[in-house]
Amino acid sequence: GKSYDAMSDQNGSGFRVNTYKTGKDKEGCFRETLTGGWWMVNGCNYANLNGQKLHFITPTTIPRGIAWYNRMNTKSYEYTYDKVEMQIRDADFGFCT
């Protein structure tokens, strides 16, 4: 099946650093609760690989640490990650070559 790219919404976004805040923003997202430097979008963020490494499960709808939201699994904001790895490749790299 087709996988979901949680970073596609960050295309064209500016890189900035967030500090921890609470509550929803005006779009109804919890974007401001994400921490660390990241490409923060004007809508909801579905990925944040530079977030804090948490040692506990966060509430379902409030991402605070490393986040990778999967629309096919609404509980994915609850996950904690020991480590993440971001790899970069040329834009013309074919997925099905």
Q: Which domains does the chain have, with CATH numbers?
A: 1-83 (4.10.530)
Assign residue 23 a region: left if phi > 0, alpha if psi is -120 to 50, beta otherwise?
Answer: left
Structural contact between residues 62 and 43, judged by C-beta atoms closer than 8 angstroms:
no
Report pTM.
0.58
Please check the confidence at residue 1 and state whether its pLDDT lies above 50: no
Average pLDDT over residues 70-86: 78
Model confidence pLDDT, tens digit, residues 32-69: 566 677 777 766 677 888 877 777 665 555 666 787 87
- Angle at the Cα of 34 from the Cα atoms of 86 and 21, rounded to 5 degrees: 165
